């Protein structure tokens, strides 16, 4: 019961954060599907999906800038790490690839200029 209340509070908090829209908790089944669709260089998504709780949220350009770079060069490869998500204590976030974004948004009505974000805690 306490965990459910905590999850509800986090979702409510995101609902009232400027630039964030339509927060939704993902089920284990949904998380497993994303693991299959994820690209190897998007290590941030893998890290987020390994968290117990994962929220899908959409954002527009009025949302704050990321606190760290969302890309990192390792050797000759560009990777996408997770970054801290300050709106929820002890959480991380990652940006899905275009393919994942299309999968995540296909059954949710969103505006064309919104991007998706996964938050794990």
Residue 110: predicted pLDDT: 95
Q: Are 40 and 77 in contact (CB under 8 A)?
A: no
Give one word for 111, left, alpha or beta, with left for phi > 0 and alpha for psi -120 to 50: beta
Q: Supply 47's token pair.
A: 């890290």
Q: How far is CA 119 from each of CA 4, 46, 59, rounded to the nearest angstrom?
A: 17, 11, 12
Q: How far is CA 62 from each of CA 10, 11, 17, 59, 105, rounded to the nearest angstrom?
A: 20, 19, 10, 8, 19
Residue 107: predicted pLDDT: 86
Q: Are 117 and 59 in contact (CB under 8 A)?
A: yes
Q: How far is CA 25 from each of CA 11, 51, 56, 76, 93, rounded to the nearest angstrom?
A: 8, 12, 6, 35, 14
> Strand, helix or coil at 22?
strand
Mean pLDDT by 10 residues, the chain (121 residues): 83 92 96 96 98 97 95 94 96 96 93 96 95
């Amino acid at each position: 019961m306490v965990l459910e209340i905590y999850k509800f509070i986090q979702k409510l908090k995101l609902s009232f954060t400027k630039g964030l829209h339509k927060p939704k908790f993902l089920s284990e089944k949904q998380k497993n599907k994303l693991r299959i669709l994820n690209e190897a260089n998007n290590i941030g998504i893998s890290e987020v999906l390994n968290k117990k709780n994962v929220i899908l949220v959409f954002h527009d350009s009025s949302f704050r800038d990321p606190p760290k770079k969302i890309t990192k060069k390792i050797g000759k490869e560009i990777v996408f790490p997770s970054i801290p998500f300050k709106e929820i204590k002890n959480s991380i976030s990652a940006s899905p690839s275009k393919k994942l974004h299309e999968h995540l948004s296909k059954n949710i009505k969103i505006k064309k200029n919104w991007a998706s974000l996964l938050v794990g805690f």
